[in-house]
């Protein structure tokens, strides 16, 4: 009798992975273990995953460095949701004979969440929602967006959608990225400018760059100093794009009016992190891609990848 395989699904915080698609074809051949906690200790992870042939990762929540991979002799396949996962040591995976593959994603969800944060920050929804629960009424003055300037840093799949909404709201939309051309910007109804002009002119700056060695820290003390004291900085891309210490100092001192963040240097965000407690910070727990349509796509293709790997068919290799 053939022994059953073992599949682990990590970081399923809401415990929705198994309900997001039909796993029947996987269950026929394997036992599936779902973990809703986040584990950072390598010894604990190695013990938990010691007998697993397949591990499913939710984006970059749990890193897979070389010293973890070398302690998982049974591991044959890592499936990550999304097309990229910088938290996996791909060279080490290849060295240990572990195949790594991914899934498609949707750019609509993070673009929508970006606008949720922009609107919430502009109208102080976090403050007003808290105040109304405490018996207060109309305690702040929101800011209208029509006629004001939106600065989009990174005009790719997500940034272009964010820019289009800004145009529809009647905003003056500026854009900058290291390789952006005037023609690309004009085709989207926006204007390409220098980084300095964008940060100096924008009432709202929203970040949508891919994190790389070139873009890491692209927003630092100097860029923050250029921004209007009334401006809002929104980051739903990657925390490494911003100097977090400079950001906390800017908003904490009142130099910058508001910051709206969905990504952080350490996730889940520690309870004592200054970003949880600094006035002017609106923070959400990395919800940009946490939507039913995205999860349905993620996990349906996870199942496809697992079955294809077991059957020797092509998978969505990184």
pLDDT tens per residue, range 9-63: 999 999 999 999 999 999 999 999 999 999 999 999 999 999 999 999 999 999 9
Domains of the chain, residue spans: 5-106+291-310, 108-283
**What is the percent of the chain with per-residue pLDDT over 90, rounded to a whole number?**
97
Has 61 been annotated as catalytic? no
CATH 3.40.50.720 fits 5-106+291-310, yes or no: yes
Total-model pTM: 0.94
pLDDT in tens, 233-249: 999 999 999 999 999 99
> Span 66-73, mean pLDDT?
97
Has 267 been annotated as catalytic? yes
Q: Which of 71, 184, 267, 316 is catalytic?
A: 267
pLDDT at 1 over 50: no
Q: Which of 61, 148, 286, 304 is catalytic?
A: 286
Name the phi and psi angles at 5, rounded to 5: -85, 170
Asked if domains 5-106+291-310 and 108-283 share a fold, the reply is yes
Has 179 been annotated as catalytic? no
Q: Which pLDDT score, from 0 to 100, does residue 2 have?
A: 56
pLDDT in tens, 109-146: 999 999 999 999 999 999 999 999 999 999 999 999 99
CA 56, distance to chain mean position in Å, is 18
CATH number at 108-283: 3.40.50.720
pLDDT at 313 over 90: no
Q: Which of 223, 238, 258, 304 is catalytic?
A: 238
> Span 196-205, mean pLDDT?
98
Q: Which pLDDT score, from 0 to 100, does residue 316 have?
A: 79
């Amino acid at each position: 009798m053939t022994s059953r395989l073992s599949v682990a699904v990590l970081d399923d915080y809401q415990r929705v992975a198994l309900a997001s698609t039909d796993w029947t074809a996987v269950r026929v051949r394997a036992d599936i273990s779902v973990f809703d906690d986040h584990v950072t200790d390598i010894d604990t992870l190695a013990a938990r995953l010691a007998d697993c042939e397949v591990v499913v990762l939710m984006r970059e929540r749990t890193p897979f460095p070389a010293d973890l991979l070398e302690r998982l002799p049974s591991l044959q396949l890592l499936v990550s949701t999304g097309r990229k996962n910088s938290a996996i040591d791909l060279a080490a995976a290849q060295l240990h004979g572990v195949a790594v593959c991914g899934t498609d994603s949707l750019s609509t969800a993070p673009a929508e969440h970006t606008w949720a944060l922009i609107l919430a920050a502009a109208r102080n929804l976090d403050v007003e929602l808290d105040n109304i629960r405490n018996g207060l009424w109309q305690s702040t003055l929101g800011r209208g967006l029509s006629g004001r300037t939106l600065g989009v840093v990174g005009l790719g799949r997500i940034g272009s959608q964010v820019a289009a909404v800004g145009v529809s709201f009647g905003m003056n939309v500026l854009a900058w990225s290291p390789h952006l051309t005037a023609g690309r910007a004009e085709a989207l109804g926006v204007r390409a400018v220098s980084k300095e002009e964008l940060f100096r002119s924008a009432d709202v700056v929203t970040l949508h760059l891919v994190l790389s060695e070139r873009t890491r820290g692209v927003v630092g003390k100097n860029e923050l100093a250029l921004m209007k004291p009334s401006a809002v900085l929104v980051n739903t891309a990657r925390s490494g794009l911003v100097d977090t210490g400079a950001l906390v100092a800017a908003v904490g001192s009142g130099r910058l009016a508001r910051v709206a963040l969905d990504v952080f240097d350490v996730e889940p965000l520690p309870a004592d992190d200054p970003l949880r407690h600094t006035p002017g910070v609106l923070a959400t727990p990395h919800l940009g891609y946490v939507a039913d349509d995205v999860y349905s796509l993620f996990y349906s293709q996870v199942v496809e990848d697992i079955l294809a790997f077991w059957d020797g068919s092509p998978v969505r290799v990184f």
